[in-house]
Structure 1
Amino acid sequence: MPELREIVAALSTPIVGAPMAGAAGGRLAAAISAGGGLGMIGVGNVATVEQVRAECGIAAASGERFGVGLMCWSLPQNPELLDAALEFEPIVVSLSFGDPRPHLAKVRATGAAVVAQVGTRAEAADALDAGVDGLVVRGSEGGGHGRGVVSTLPLLQQVLDLTDRPVLAGGGVATARGLAAVLAAGAVAGWVGTPFAACAESLFRPELKEAVIAADTDQTVYTRAFDIAQRFDWPTRYGGRALVNTFTTSWADRTDALQAAVTDELTAKIKQARVDADLSLAPVYAGESAGLVDRARTAAQVLADFAPFRDYLRAAQRWT
């Protein structure tokens, strides 16, 4: 398989779809790749082998190249999830949220390129030391899980000075202007989540997509409250950015109190809210760029809307 830089260079639009568990399935991954980007499938901590094989099978059947993203912290309890994903020969594997070292040899044996999402300089240095092929800089404005301490542009500049390996930029990259900005800084591609979470091929329920489209940039919150309430064992350094709702108004900034107050009843209530799409209680993971997503689109339309990035890059050349 080609190296990561070659994979990205072959894209007609330098966009990689973030592997959002619960949103980025095989249909979305295939649609992004067909549209000129690279689609990724998200494998969550509660995924099953059957689900992984089903979603990867959809992407593989399309004939398009695709990638897979997994959570290192949960793989020791579910190592078969990685095995199932590798059966379908993804071209890129994201090993994030923990130490990728125990899994690198297995992934490398398939020829896939390995990236790791990082949210601080220290995480970037550690991932480079582990030997990943490239980094995904994800700033605190990004949707879903990650670090909540540094925003995208400061972190991107810092990491680009740290390595000559390919760096992708995520967190707030949702328009052609945003893509041009991170490419001009030195990223090889944008790592895009929220716009694709709301598109037609996403696994998100229609109610969740509509909520993302309706939200503004200041209507998200970074919190561990949803993980605490559902008793998920996410490492405490990772929170998640989601749309504000009744639950976050009560608990987003009171996670210590929530930790002490959580009950079986509350856990069941939040999990059922996800099933019922009760958006007053259920998490809708999305980044600050939700305010830049203003209409229903297909993945191909999302990618087409990024096309003017070349015009913005050309316009910036007036300063050279």
Structure 2
Amino acid sequence: MGGVAGGRLAAAVTAAGGLGMVGMGSTATAASLASELAALGTVTRFGIGLVDWVIRDQPDLFEAALAARPTMLSVSFGTDLSWVDRAHAAGTLAVTQVYDADTARRAHDAGVDLLVARGAEGGGHGEIRLATLPLLDVVLDAVPGPVLAAGGIGSPRSLAAVLAAGAAGAWLGTCLSACPEALTGESSRQALIEAAGTDTVTTRVFDVGQRLDWPERFPSRVLRNAFTGRWAGHEDALAADLRASAELAAGIAAGDQRLAPVDAGQGVGMLIDSRPAGVLIEELCAGAQRLLSRWA
């Protein structure tokens, strides 16, 4: 979660028994990675998440990530898996998101250690192919390795459901975005808490408006706002409208939720307040464990 999952959130997730990820998004640099790694404090078990097309443009970012010796390196949103061997040579586990059986097999054949089956419900960028549970079914049938489920998991029930379906664990995003340790701005945090699960939309308008080089097949699930309402279906016009881009940039700088993007999956409706990451993870895991025991 670029711009959300910094070093402080990663440290809190690891302290709670998970594996915290430092998310480096589409505007990441080696310098911004260094800043977030410093925020980890004394934590030595962590992961780093990178965007494939960003590290192609900024190889120093990839080098800096390897040099940090993370427990796990996640690279997604691309087809070139040559980075996997370099991660292994550095003693780091390789992880990537997959969206169907074919991408799962290719990743497994390339030596990826852990696959993340990211369903269409998930917040932020991803291919809109299958919902989380149908995707988990086909990926588990396609590959023998461990698979994490991602997309719409934000309650003990949804966590228990993917574990019961065979996932080795869950890759959490939106439910952690409102935590006080996240990099989320206050206006965005409040928007997440107030949103319902039906308030999200999948769109490319923020990428187009910010001139970001996201491939078209990876739209982003965000909270619906005035900007998505105005420009959805008019991406070509938006790409040529410098005034709209300037308006968007100003809205982002000001934290204006009528304009600024807020990544959110369909599980956002389960957010009711801003709880520390450790409290949230304990509640999720304890609740899921009770449900699994009841179902056994």
Report the TM-score when normalising by structure 1: 0.89
- In structure 1, the partner of 2:291 is 312
Alignment of 1:289-308 (within 5 A): 289-306=267-284, 307-308=286-287
Find out whether 1:197 has 2:199 as its counterpart. Answer: no
Task: Tell me which residue corresponds to 2:197.
Answer: 217
- Give the equivalent residue in structure 1 for 2:11: 30
The answer to whether the 8 A contact 2:55-2:61 is kept is yes
Q: Which amino acid aligns with 2:254?
A: D
1:107 aligns with 2:87: yes
Count of residue pairs the alignment pairs up: 295
Q: Distance in 1 between matches of 2:281 and 2:105?
A: 31
- Secondary structure of the structure 2 residue equivalent to 1:250: helix
Q: How far apart are 1:253 and its partner, in Å? A: 3.6
2:145 maps to which of 159, 165, 169? 165
Instruction: Answer yes or no: is the 8 Å Cα contact 1:73–1:97 preserved in 2.
Output: yes
Counterparts of 2:243 and 2:120, CA distance in 1: 31
1:277 aligns with 2:258: no
Give the letter for the 1:162 counterpart: A
The whole-number CA distance in structure 2 between the counterparts of 1:25 and 1:152 is: 25
**1:38 and 1:67 in contact (8 A); partners too:** yes
CA contact under 8 A between 1:73 and 1:99: conserved in structure 2?
Answer: no
Q: Match of 1:227, as an amino acid?
A: D
Report how far residue 256 of structure 1 moved.
Answer: 4.4
Contact 1:194 1:290 in 2 (8 A): yes
Aligned residue number for residue 51 of structure 1:
32
Structure 1: runs of 5+ lacking an equivalent? 1-19
State the shift of 1:105 in Å: 2.3
State the 1:272 CA deviation.
2.2
* Matches of 1:178 and 1:204, distance apart in 2: 24
Q: How does 1:130-145 map to 2 (within 5 A)?
A: 130-145=110-125
Residue 267 in structure 1 maps to residue 267 in structure 2? no
1:140 alignment partner, SS class:
coil
| CA distance in 2: counterparts of 1:121 and 1:215, whole angstroms | 32
Aligned-partner residue type, residue 314 of structure 1 = S
Aligned residue in 2 for 1:14: none
8 Å contact 2:177–2:189 — kept in the other structure? Answer: yes
Of the three residues 61, 67, 70, the one matched with 2:50 is 70
Q: Secondary structure at the match of 2:197?
A: coil
The answer for the alignment partner of 2:130 in structure 1 is 150
SS at match of 1:190: strand
- Measured against aligned partners, the alpha-carbon deviations of 1:19-53 in whole angstroms (never above 9, x if no partner) come to x0000000000000001111001111211211101
Contact 1:34–1:64 at 8 Å: present in 2 too? Answer: no
Partner of 2:201, secondary structure, is: strand
Aligned-residue sequence identity (percent) comes to: 43
- Whether the aligned pair in 1 keeps the contact of 2:100 and 2:138 (CA below 8 Å) is no
Q: Which runs of 5+ in 2 are unaligned?
A: none
Q: 1-side partners of 2:249 and 2:82: how far apart?
A: 31
Encode CA deviations 1:239-289: one digit per residue, 9 max, x unaligned. Answer: 000000001112224434434xx3222222212211110111110011111
